[in-house]
Structure 1
Amino acid sequence: MMMTTSAVNNIDLYCSLMMGEIVPYYQPLIDIRTQSLYGIEVLMRWSLADENATPVTLIEAFEESGLLPEMMQYLLRQVARDINELNALLPTGLHISFNVSPSQVAAPGFVFDTLSFLAMLPLEKYRLVVEVTEEQPLANTPEVRGAFLKLQLADVSIYFDDFGTGYANLNCLEQFNVDGVKIDRLFVAGLSSDSPSGAIVPAIARLAKAYKLNVIAEGVETTQQSQILSDMGITVQQGHLFSCALSKTQLRDFLVVE
């Protein structure tokens, strides 16, 4: 029986962890200059949730239940297992990214859990990227700034995810030392239409250049969008034009074909 996130309770969520129903999926990021794999974004799937339950809504459900730390630890252990199993097929320098909420960043144990995951991967082969989501404001506290600094000293990159759609904005770039931003699919979709949102992408590109930040565009669906982004210098791209999110088995097939 499929479940919607609105119908689940804490027992359902806890059982999903105990029964191994939470699984990682991986969406490739492509460097279009070389048409090669640049990175993978880790996305959560719940095998019993309905098809409309997005990773964001699932994370919100775990956060509301108080089980988010346990879920993240469980998920990252699975990711480490998968990466080690596929290690021979994965390129050196591959970026492995996962989403966290502002409340996770501020929580005790976040840095330890993140670095523990990094320690489970082959030494210095991969680059870990933490993408901070924008559903909540990111508090400018010593705890948050300290968490960012500790991660960056361990060569973990910090990105603002879906930049410009929520709380992350120019003010956040002034307050926090981050390594990059991710352009939301809403803005990318506007590139191939008459939508005013399409004008936001070049503005973000200029802003990122001024702050010397890396930029990734997600939600790339068409070759036209990809070319426009490339012309702006945004060459790391993610979206269904290249691949949907993949299970471990599907990722293996993708790597073999590539």
Structure 2
Amino acid sequence: MFDILTPLAHEAGDLALTHFRQLADTAISEKGPLDLVTVADRAVEALITDRLHAAFPEDGILGEEDGLTPGISGRIWVVDPIDGTFNFVRGGRQWAVSIGLWQDGQPVLGIIYAPALGLTLTGGAGHAPLLNGAPLPPLSPYLPDRAAVGVGLGRAIPASERIEMLRFLTEDAGIMFRCCNASTISLIEVALGEVDGHVGYGESAWDVMAAWPVLVALGAVSTLDWASTPLTEKLRFVIGKPELVDACRPLISKHAVPTH
């Protein structure tokens, strides 16, 4: 399957990179506060969805820009054409193309291509986790005295709750945090061991679908039960090393169910 997905993600990312090098204010419109959509978003998503339809005509596709196109196979491709749009329009390099596959209520495989960083993350069911084609080792042991997480601060979650999350991490849990405004990049940092996990407050399925099965294959656990979570829901979760997830569990609703 990656014989189709990898060249597709690279073509889509290279198209985005062409736009990135030719940014103009006239190419940017606003979907909402701090939520920007560019000509590049639309062009990249159109390219990906056209190719996925051609390669997998019975599958559904859920794109950030165009919503859900139903299929008949039970599989849904979940696409974020440019995750980290705010970084993209500011000239930052932390953005990526993300293509993940959802099947039987679970993320099963995915690919993330961050062309400005030169990174390609792949993996999932039947496919070993790879970074730029090289195998990734399992997640390293958790060291609480140097614990760190990436955070996603979606505006769907009230500001007071986002602030409380950051307070809990720094004061109660003693965990350092960093926010790069691109969930895909933050999750790559988990895969690389640069952080121990990721706390998502208000992210969407297309932000995390591609990286999720890769992290699980590396030994990550989470608080999110995908089987009972609609793909259109704004997410609140922790994923990462088991000890990190346990330390952050108070941030998540008591109804969350730990899953692998």
TM-score > 0.5 by shorter chain = no
TM-score using structure 2 length: 0.30
Q: Which has the higher contact order (CA 8 A, sep 6+)?
A: 1
Higher strand proportion (structure 1 or 2): 2
Higher helix proportion (structure 1 or 2): 1
TM-score using structure 1 length: 0.30
